[in-house]
A = this chain, B = another copy of it.
């Protein structure tokens, strides 16, 4: 079933004019015709069943029928990721969306070679990933800030899983076991690693939970997916016992 993210308010009987890209996708690529059903969501009103009402030269119009799922949010999980090369950063955004991250915060570190970040492109990737993965909310993506600035105003209740290959940290799965649920962030550094000053600052943060990801060197996109997988398995919604936490 086609799922589309729309910006319109969703309610029974609402009519939604799709934008040119979505119209082309629904009509020309997926060959849907008037009367065919699909699903729409806007991140506020849950997921709704809709049908194609018009498919003319001015694009497709949908008519909203009934709510399929009420609005929910996933875990209160931030991914904080150093700006890496564009292709890897795009992969990380797609995968973070599939893995249920609520916010993506881009950071600049001492060893970051900042590539130009195109936030609209990253938002498009996140939207398409949300449509495909079955999410009914979109991750929010923030403009890059310096890591030091982010840590200065760190919220006291948010724990920070910090992948630290240089020290004596336990495996991430062990580091997370027994930790409280609630607000968390996962931090993935640049491919050159953190500087000694950054590591010391991270280690000194009360909320920091250091962990390692095995004996081999992982690229930034692999490290992000692996750390998010372990977090969701131990503290998040991959473990159905955690749904009520």
Contact = CB atoms under 8 A, between A and B. Distances in A.
Interface of A: 91, 94-95, 98-100, 132-135, 171-174, 212-219, 222, 225-226, 229-230, 232-234, 236-240
B219 A232 contact: no
Contacts of A98: 216-219, 222
Nearest to A234: B173
Given A99-B222, A100-B214, A216-B100, A233 B171 contact: yes
Contacts of A171: 233, 238-240
A240 B222 CA distance: 20
Contact of A239 (B91, B173, B219): B173
A134 B218 CA distance: 9
A112 to B, nearest CB: 19
A160 B178 CA distance: 29
Nearest to A242: B171
A222 B132 contact: no
5 contacts: A100-B214, A133-B218, A134-B216, A171-B238, A171-B239
A172 B219 contact: no
Contacts of A174: 239
Contacts of A173: 233-234, 238-239
Contact of A225 (B212, B226, B236): B226
Contacts of A100: 214, 216
A186 to B, nearest CB: 13
A218 B98 CA distance: 6
A194 to B, nearest CB: 18
A98 B214 CA distance: 10
